[in-house]
Structure formats: structure tokens, C-alpha cells
Amino acid sequence: MKSFIPVIAGSIVLAAFSGAASAQDMSENNSGFYVGGNYGYLKVESDDDFDDNNEVTQGIVGYRLNSFLALEGSYINFGRYGNHAANAKTTGYTAALKGTIPITQTVELFAKAGQLWHKTDYSIATVSGSSDDKSLFAGAGVNFKVTENFLLNAQYTWYDVDLEADNVSSDSKFETDFNQASVGAEYRF
């Protein structure tokens, strides 16, 4: 069921933005590149010893196709989480489709869904290793325009991350969710 959430969210976003796009004067050219960064709080939820709270940092680059739709990529560091018996550190790259709806001249709502490719270095008791995997994610937030090119934002993102520790046991797949609440900035060129 979790794997369908980003697909459903993405479909809803596309439908909403296509309707809003037809209502907007499309003579404006609001396409172009943007860069940004986020800093925030990460809640790791798992059925094992990896439950934890942590800081998360993210660097973003994107391209706005128009006022409503963008392609976005990022590098994200989820940091180290867990306890002394079982801990892990996860970093990764994302690719997403991002939809934006302008509410006022200075406020925009956005939603995004995409893919996370991540690497996790883990230590469980006396066994260490690493795991590469991919996961779906979905998120939503709000942008506040400080100037036409500089924006501040607040957002929440959910990642369906699974950790596979193959050298621990034959059935060592840990179901884990990352919940990220962050603030950030974006500069549009």
C-alpha cells in the first residue's frame, strides 16, 4: 500500500496543476533553473532498533518547465541514527516531479513525488556493512517569496526506505520510514 501513495499523490498533483495551468495566463515565461537547500528534522520509524530522531540536510537543483511544474533532483544526508547496538548512516540522491500552485503573489503551495537512490552504512552488534537500494517518496510544502527570485520554504517529506543487512541474517530486511520536516531556501535564475 505504501508504494501506491506517491503514485496517487503524483496523479492528484498533476490533475490539479493541469487545471490551474489552463486558468493561468500562460504568456508568462516562468521556466528556468533553480538551486536550493534544506535543513531539518528527521524522524526514523522502524520495527527494529533504528528508531531515532536526527538532523537532515539537502542540496537541491531543479528546472521549472512553467509556473506549475518542475523537475527536481537533490543530494540528501539523513545522518546517523539508531543506538550503540544497531546504528546506520544513510545518504542518497533523489529525482522528483514537483507541482506548484500560486496562492497569492508571495505564497505558493507545492507537492512532489519521486525516487530516492540511497546508500546505508550500518553496524549491528559486531557486524558492519553497507546496502544500496531505491525507495519512493512524496512530500508537500509552502514557498514564501522574499523577492521574485529568492524564496523561503517549509516542507514535509515521507520516504519509504528499507534497509537490507544481508550479512546479518538471511531475513534481515528492516522496514523503515523516514519522515522529514525541514525549512529551506530556493534561488530561481
CATH number at residue 121: 2.40.160.20
Q: What span, in angstroms and rounded, lies between the C-alpha atoms of 116 and 119?
A: 10
Q: What span, in angstroms and rounded, lies between the C-alpha atoms of 121 and 38?
A: 23
**pLDDT string in tens for the chain (189-residue length):** 455 555 555 554 554 444 444 444 444 568 999 999 999 999 887 665 555 678 999 999 999 999 999 999 999 999 887 777 777 889 999 999 999 999 999 999 999 999 999 998 888 777 788 888 899 999 999 999 999 999 999 999 999 887 766 555 555 566 778 899 999 999 999
**Residues pairing with 42 in the sheet:** 54, 180
Q: What span, in angstroms and rounded, lies between the C-alpha atoms of 175 and 18?
A: 35
Q: What is the DSSP letter of 155?
A: E
Q: What is the DSSP letter of 103?
A: -
What does the angle CA 93 – CA 179 – CA 171 come to, to the nearest 5 degrees?
Answer: 75
Closest to 42 in 3D by CA, of 32, 51, 33, 29 = 51
The range of the structural domain enclosing residue 131 comes to 4-23+31-188
What total of structural domains would you count in the chain? 1
- Cell triple for residue 99? 507541482
